[in-house]
Chain A
Amino acid sequence: MTAERRPPKTIAPKKNPMKTQEPGKRSRNFNEVALGYSEEAVVAEANRCLQCKNAPCRQGCPVEVDIPAFIKMVAERDFTGAIKKIKEKNSLPAICGRVCPQESQCEKYCTLGKKYEPVAIGRIERYCADRELATGVTPQETMPSTGKKVAIIGSGPAGLTCAADLAKLGHKVTVFEALHVPGGVLMYGIPEFRLPKQVVQTEVNNLKNLGVEILVNNVVGKSTTVDELMSEGGYDAVFIGTGAGLPYFMRIQGENACGVYTANEFLTRTNLMKAYLFPDCDTPIRIGKKVAVLGGGNVAMDSARTALRLGAEESWIVYRRSRNELPARQEEIEHAEEEGVNFAFLTSPTKILHDQDYWVTAMECLRYELGEPDASGRRRPVPISGSEFIMDVDTVVIAIGQGPNPLVPRTTSGLELTQKGNILADPATGATSKPGVYAGGDIVTGAATVILAMGAGRTAAKSINAYLQGNGGD
Chain B
Amino acid sequence: MYRILKKETLAPTIKLFEIEAPLVAKKAAAGQFIILRIHDEGERIPLTIADFDRKRGTITCVFQEVGKTTKQLGTLNQGDTIKDFVGPLGLPTHIENYGRVLCVGGGVGVAPVHPIARALKQAGNEVIGVIGARSGELLFWEDKMRQACSELRVTTDDGSYVRKGFVTDVLREIIEEENKDPALCVAIGPLPMMRAVCNLTREYNLKTIVSLNSIMVDGTGMCGCCRVTVNGETRFACVDGPEFDGHLVDFDEMTRRSAIYKSPEKQALELFNAGINHKCSCGGE
**Do A and B share a complex?**
yes
What string of 1s and 0s marks CB contacts (under 8 Å) between B212-243 and chain A?
A: 00000110111111011100001000010000
What string of 1s and 0s marks CB contacts (under 8 Å) between B1-41 and chain A?
A: 00000000000000000000001100100000000010001
Q: Residue B260 at the A interface, CB < 8 A?
A: yes
**Complex partner residue of B224 from A217, A265, A277, A279, CB under 8 angstroms:** A265
Instruction: Judge whether A268 and B234 touch: CB under 8 Å.
Output: no
> For the complex, would chain A's binding face be called helix, strand, loop or mixed by DSSP majority?
loop
Q: Residue B53 at the A interface, CB < 8 A?
A: no
Instruction: Judge whether B260 and A264 touch: CB under 8 Å.
Output: no
Interface size class of B (residues with CB under 8 A): 35 or more
Instruction: Judge whether A180 and B84 touch: CB under 8 Å.
Output: yes
Minimum distance in angstroms from A392 CB to a CB of chain B: 20
Q: What are the residues of chain A within 8 A of B43 when measuring CB–CB?
A: 273, 281-284
Minimum distance in angstroms from A126 CB to a CB of chain B: 28
For the complex with contacts A247-B222, A272-B217, 7 further pairs of A-B residues with Cβ separation under 8 Å are A217-B86, A223-B27, A223-B88, A256-B228, A262-B223, A284-B264, A406-B221
Q: What are the residues of chain B within 8 A of A249 when measuring CB–CB?
A: 224, 234
Q: What are the residues of chain A within 8 A of B223 when measuring CB–CB?
A: 247, 262, 264-265, 268-269
Instruction: Judge whether B220 and A180 touch: CB under 8 Å.
Output: no
Q: What are the residues of chain A within 8 A of B234 when measuring CB–CB?
A: 249, 255-256
Which B residues are within 8 Å of any A CB, using their own CB? Answer: 23-24, 27, 37, 41-44, 68-69, 83-89, 217-218, 220-225, 227-229, 234, 239, 252-253, 256-257, 259-261, 264-265, 267-268, 271
Minimum distance in angstroms from A355 CB to a CB of chain B: 10
Instruction: Judge whether A245 and B23 touch: CB under 8 Å.
Output: no
Instruction: Judge whether B83 and A180 touch: CB under 8 Å.
Output: yes
Minimum distance in angstroms from A94 CB to a CB of chain B: 23
Q: What are the residues of chain A within 8 A of B88 when measuring CB–CB?
A: 222-223
Q: Residue A18 at the B interface, CB < 8 A?
A: no
Minimum distance in angstroms from A284 CB to a CB of chain B: 4
Q: What are the residues of chain A within 8 A of B217 when measuring CB–CB?
A: 265, 268-269, 272-273, 283
Instruction: Judge whether A358 and B68 touch: CB under 8 Å.
Output: no
Q: What are the residues of chain A within 8 A of B227 when measuring CB–CB?
A: 256
Q: What are the residues of chain B within 8 A of A223 when measuring CB–CB?
A: 23-24, 27, 86-88
Q: Residue A158 at the B interface, CB < 8 A?
A: no
Question: How many angstroms from the CA of A287 to the CA of B220 in the assembled complex?
Answer: 24
Q: Residue A357 at the B interface, CB < 8 A?
A: yes
How many of A's residues come within 8 Å of B, CB to CB? 42
> For the complex, would chain B's binding face be called helix, strand, loop or mixed by DSSP majority?
mixed
Q: Residue A468 at the B interface, CB < 8 A?
A: no
Minimum distance in angstroms from A191 CB to a CB of chain B: 16
A249: nearest chain-B partner, CB-CB: B234
B227: nearest chain-A partner, CB-CB: A256
Minimum distance in angstroms from A364 CB to a CB of chain B: 19
B89: nearest chain-A partner, CB-CB: A222
A216: nearest chain-B partner, CB-CB: B84
Question: How many angstroms from the CA of A178 to the CA of B222 in the assembled complex?
Answer: 11
Q: What are the residues of chain A within 8 A of B44 when measuring CB–CB?
A: 180, 273, 283
Instruction: Judge whether B220 and A358 touch: CB under 8 Å.
Output: no
Given A219-B220, A262-B224, A268-B223; A178-B253 close (CB under 8 Å): no
Instruction: Judge whether A284 and B224 touch: CB under 8 Å.
Output: no
Q: Residue A463 at the B interface, CB < 8 A?
A: no
Instruction: Judge whether B225 and A218 touch: CB under 8 Å.
Output: no
Q: Can you name 14 A-B pairs with beta carbons within 8 Å?
A: A180-B44, A218-B86, A223-B88, A245-B218, A245-B220, A261-B225, A269-B223, A272-B217, A278-B268, A279-B264, A280-B41, A283-B43, A286-B264, A407-B239
Q: Residue A205 at the B interface, CB < 8 A?
A: no
Q: What are the residues of chain B within 8 A of A312 when measuring CB–CB?
A: none
Given A178-B220, A218-B23, A256-B227; A357-B256 close (CB under 8 Å): yes
Instruction: Judge whether B87 and A245 touch: CB under 8 Å.
Output: no
Instruction: Judge whether B222 and A219 touch: CB under 8 Å.
Output: no
Q: What are the residues of chain A within 8 A of B68 when measuring CB–CB?
A: 282
B83: nearest chain-A partner, CB-CB: A180
Top 4 nearest A-B pairs (CB, nearest first) are: A284-B264, A358-B256, A265-B223, A282-B43
Question: How many angstroms from the CA of A218 to the CA of B26 in the assembled complex?
Answer: 13
Q: What are the residues of chain B within 8 A of A133 when measuring CB–CB?
A: none
A402: nearest chain-B partner, CB-CB: B222
Minimum distance in angstroms from B144 CB to a CB of chain A: 26
Instruction: Judge whether B86 and A245 touch: CB under 8 Å.
Output: no
Instruction: Judge whether A284 and B265 touch: CB under 8 Å.
Output: yes
B38: nearest chain-A partner, CB-CB: A282
**Complex partner residue of A245 from B84, B89, B221, B271, CB under 8 angstroms:** B221
Instruction: Judge whether A282 and B41 touch: CB under 8 Å.
Output: yes
Q: What are the residues of chain B within 8 A of A35 when measuring CB–CB?
A: none
What string of 1s and 0s marks CB contacts (under 8 Å) between A339-373 and chain B?
A: 00000000000000000011000000000000000
Q: What are the residues of chain B within 8 A of A256 when measuring CB–CB?
A: 227-229, 234, 253, 257
